[in-house]
Amino acid sequence: MGRKKGTVEFDEGAPDDFDPANPYKDPVAMLEMRAFSEREMDSD
């Protein structure tokens, strides 16, 4: 038994269901947006 060799694909875009007018409406989307923003700031 070994590990499967392949690539992992990550969703690199901003979350579709994030509402900037009401960010606390969906806490999961809020955390995804925060992670996305941090990745974007780190890539600059």
Model confidence at 1, pLDDT cuts 50, 70, 90, reads low
Give the other-Cβ count within 10 Å of 11's Cβ.
9
Give residue 7's pLDDT.
83
- What pTM does this model have? 0.65
How far is 15 from 19, CA to CA, in rounded Å?
9
Give residue 11's pLDDT.
72
At 11-42, the pLDDT tens digits run 778 888 999 999 999 999 999 999 989 888 87
H/E stretch holding 39: helix 27-43
Residue carrying the six token digits 């941090």: 38
How far is 20 from 10, CA to CA, in rounded Å?
23
Question: Which carries the bigger pLDDT value, residue 40 or residue 3?
Answer: 40
